[in-house]
Homo-oligomer: A and B are copies of this chain.
Amino acid sequence: MIKEKNLRRFTENIFLSIGCPKKDAKLAADVLISADLRGVDSHGTARLIGYVRLFDHGRLNPNPEIKIIHETPSTAVIDGDKGLGLVVAPYAMKVAIKKAKRYGSGWISVQNSNHFGIAGYHSMLALPHDMIGWAMTNAAPLVVPTFAVEKMLGTNPIAVSVPAGNQPPFVADFASTAVAYGKMEILQRKGLSAPIGWVQDANGNPTDDANAVKNGGGLLPLGGDREHGSHKGYGLGAIVDIFSGVLSGANFGPWVPPFATAGFHGVAAEQVGKGTGHFLGAMRIDGFRPKEEFKASMDTWIERFRNAKHIENQPVLIPGDPERELEKERRANGIPLNDKVIEDLQGLGDRFGVKF
């Protein structure tokens, strides 16, 4: 268990050590710490070493010149200049919010970026402005479309944040797959098998092998199989990919470059665009209804769903509830890190002379 403050300072210092400007280091650390606080452990400081590897291999520009390369009043494409997605996405969100202030909504497709951490962080940036926030990103291929035996899509998450009045905001943040790959990694570490419906093997058959994705299989789209609507999960992942990759001029589909793991950190010889792509958006709620009216209705929505009749001992949750609860708890009591992550962070500390 480590105090948020200490982990945050350490993370900032590592980003400073690879050459990020102070403001960017602070922001990038904030995105990772937010994931750790909200319980999305796979996207928190566990990934810090991956970003450093991207830097080591020349795939990450620690001091990028992020810029708008094309725009209309309510749309734009941003070139991330190989920067940290953790910094590029909030920049794009800022542009979306500015456009929404003036024109009602702003929609930004981003090329030439890297992994942007948790999608929810970026969508939530719209909330203080009384706006609805959207964030999506494509990612390296792990997912098999319906009927395919080839990995073609990333876990391509979608996050949508909606402000409320007296209630806390609605924050949906989910991958377009049955499960996040992080869950498979946990099973692998523990030597456990996976429930049927999460992955398929190299021949396209259902399997409980937690290593299936490594062995030629793939993660299944949300829905699992055709009979249970996997073509919908595939469609959703495809939409995210097209908005993030094709609209922006980034890579898309099987060409999206992988995050740097210990085993692999290169990119495919063939590229169809620049880096990883994101799609960010903001809509003013008073572009539709008076603010207070909307917020009162949103409170009604949340209260009604939270009080829906439910199975024994498990009330219905509002998207964002579990993460917010965990954040409160971890802010108070600290963030649990597993041994492998601690080892990685200590290694980074040793290398850059930063005390962990």
A279 and chain B: residue at smallest CB distance: B288
Inter-chain contact B103/A254, CB cutoff 8 Å: no
Inter-chain contact A238/B170, CB cutoff 8 Å: yes
Chain A: interface secondary structure?
mixed
Question: CA of A285 to CA of B73 in the docked complex: distance in angstroms?
Answer: 14
Tell me, yes or no, whether A150 is within 8 Å of chain B by CB: yes
Please tell me which one of the listed residues B146, B177, B273 contacts residue A229 in the complex, with CB atoms under 8 A apart.
B177
Q: Which residues of chain A from 271 to 325 have any CB-CB distance to chain B below 8 Å in the complex?
A: 272-273, 283-285, 287-289, 293-294, 297-298, 300-301, 304-305, 308-311, 314-317, 319
A318 and chain B: residue at smallest CB distance: B238
Inter-chain contact B75/A253, CB cutoff 8 Å: no
Interface centre among A74, A198, A310, A317 (most CB of B within 10 A): A74
Tell me, yes or no, whether A258 is within 8 Å of chain B by CB: no
Question: CA of A222 to CA of B232 in the docked complex: distance in angstroms?
Answer: 8
Counted per complex, copies of this chain come to 2
B-facing mask of A152-165, CB < 8 A → 1, else 0?
10000010101000
Knowing A107-B105, A152-B305, A170-B238, say if A297 contacts B222 (CB, 8 Å): no
Q: Which residues of chain A from 301 to 356 have any CB-CB distance to chain B below 8 Å in the complex?
A: 301, 304-305, 308-311, 314-317, 319
Q: Which residues of chain A from 39 to 72 have any CB-CB distance to chain B below 8 Å in the complex?
A: 70-72
Inter-chain contact A77/B305, CB cutoff 8 Å: no
Tell me, yes or no, whether A172 is within 8 Å of chain B by CB: yes
Please tell me which one of the listed residues B145, B149, B305 contacts residue A305 in the complex, with CB atoms under 8 A apart.
B145
B-facing mask of A217-240, CB < 8 A → 1, else 0?
000001110011101111110110
Inter-chain contact A149/B310, CB cutoff 8 Å: yes
A273 and chain B: residue at smallest CB distance: B297
Tell me, yes or no, whether A249 is within 8 Å of chain B by CB: yes
Tally of A interface residues using CB under 8 Å: 86
Q: Which residues of chain A from 133 to 187 have any CB-CB distance to chain B below 8 Å in the complex?
A: 145-150, 152, 158, 160, 162, 170, 172, 174-179
Question: CA of A19 to CA of B74 in the docked complex: distance in angstroms?
Answer: 39
Inter-chain contact B305/A174, CB cutoff 8 Å: no
A77 and chain B: residue at smallest CB distance: B288
Question: CA of A293 to CA of B246 in the docked complex: distance in angstroms?
Answer: 9
Inter-chain contact B315/A147, CB cutoff 8 Å: yes
A283 contact set on B, CB distance < 8 A: 75, 107
A211 to chain B, nearest CB (A): 19
A77 to chain B, nearest CB (A): 5
Which A residues are closer than 8 A to B by beta carbons? 70-77, 102-105, 107, 109, 132, 145-150, 152, 158, 160, 162, 170, 172, 174-179, 195, 197-198, 203-204, 222-224, 227-229, 231-236, 238-239, 241-242, 246-249, 252-254, 272-273, 283-285, 287-289, 293-294, 297-298, 300-301, 304-305, 308-311, 314-317, 319
